[in-house]
């Protein structure tokens, strides 16, 4: 399954992710090294997801999540933007896949509804925290990050086994993301020699992927 998903991830990177990046949010032709890197990273992410989640219905939402996080990171690095045209379709697809998976995989409808409530708790917690940060310091936290938190929070919360765990997973992802953001921001400013702004989306994406792949050690 891991090898198969790695191959499919490379194909998806070439025929889905790169064509989407060519048109969203504006036309862009990736240089060959960037295109190769996108294909390779997407293949690795799909392989890591397959290694973590054995059941196909559980795996599918995280394949979507990982590819979208890769795509929005590329856009954010280029344009300091996280396009709604990536985030909201991905959120809709993820919600549909998670609902289906919850009723297929879990033993009862009650368990399925419980898991969906945890996912909703994660969505509200992550987006709520970042929205508050945006209100307090708009220059430091863009609304694109807040919208992306809807997708990340929902995906993290679904992995939880309680409301407390859902919020805890979100907090762990946010703390790691902030730490990565500080390091990335320092490197970005040193290399780019630009102003005080830097893309925060990639740090949030990496931290979300990490917590998804290691979530069981954080369940409380």
How confident is the model over 19-64, as pLDDT tens digits?
999 999 999 999 999 999 999 999 999 999 999 997 788 999 999 9
Q: How many CB atoms lie within 10 A of CB 126?
A: 30
Rounded to whole angstroms, the Cα distance separating 178 from 176 reads 5
Which residue segment(s) compose the domain that 10 sits in? 2-218
The answer to whether residues 99 and 60 touch, using CB atoms and an 8 Å cutoff, is no
What tens digit of pLDDT does each residue of 117-138 get? Answer: 999 999 999 999 999 988 887 7
Position 207 pLDDT exceeds 70: yes
The answer to whether residues 62 and 208 touch, using CB atoms and an 8 Å cutoff, is no
Please tell me the total count of domains within the chain: 1
What tens digit of pLDDT does each residue of 149-179 get? Answer: 999 999 999 999 999 999 999 999 999 999 9
Confidence of residue 194 (pLDDT cuts 50, 70, 90): low
DSSP annotation of 215 reads: G
Provide the whole-model pTM: 0.93
If residue 217 lies in a helix (H) or strand (E), which one and from where to where? none
Position 190 pLDDT exceeds 80: no
pLDDT at 196 (0 to 100): 62
């Amino acid at each position: 399954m891991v090898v198969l998903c790695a191959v499919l991830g490379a194909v998806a990177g070439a025929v889905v992710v790169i064509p989407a990046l060519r048109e969203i949010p504006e036309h862009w032709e990736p240089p060959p090294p960037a295109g190769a890197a996108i294909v390779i990273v997407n293949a690795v992410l799909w392989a890591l997801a397959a290694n973590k989640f054995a059941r196909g219905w559980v795996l599918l939402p995280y394949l979507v999540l990982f590819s979208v996080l890769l795509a929005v990171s590329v856009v954010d690095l280029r344009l300091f933007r996280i396009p709604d045209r990536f985030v909201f379709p991905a959120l809709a697809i993820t919600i549909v896949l998670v609902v289906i998976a919850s009723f297929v995989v879990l033993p009862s409808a009650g368990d399925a509804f419980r898991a969906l409530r945890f996912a909703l708790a994660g969505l509200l917690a992550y987006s709520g925290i970042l929205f508050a940060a945006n209100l307090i310091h708009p220059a430091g936290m863009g609304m694109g990050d807040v919208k992306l938190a809807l997708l990340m929070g929902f995906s993290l919360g679904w992995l939880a086994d309680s409301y407390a765990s859902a919020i805890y997973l979100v907090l762990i992802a946010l703390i790691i993301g902030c730490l990565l953001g500080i390091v990335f921001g320092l490197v970005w400013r040193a290399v780019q020699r630009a102003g005080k702004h830097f893309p925060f989306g990639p740090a949030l994406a990496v931290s979300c992927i990490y917590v998804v792949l290691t979530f069981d050690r954080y369940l409380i």
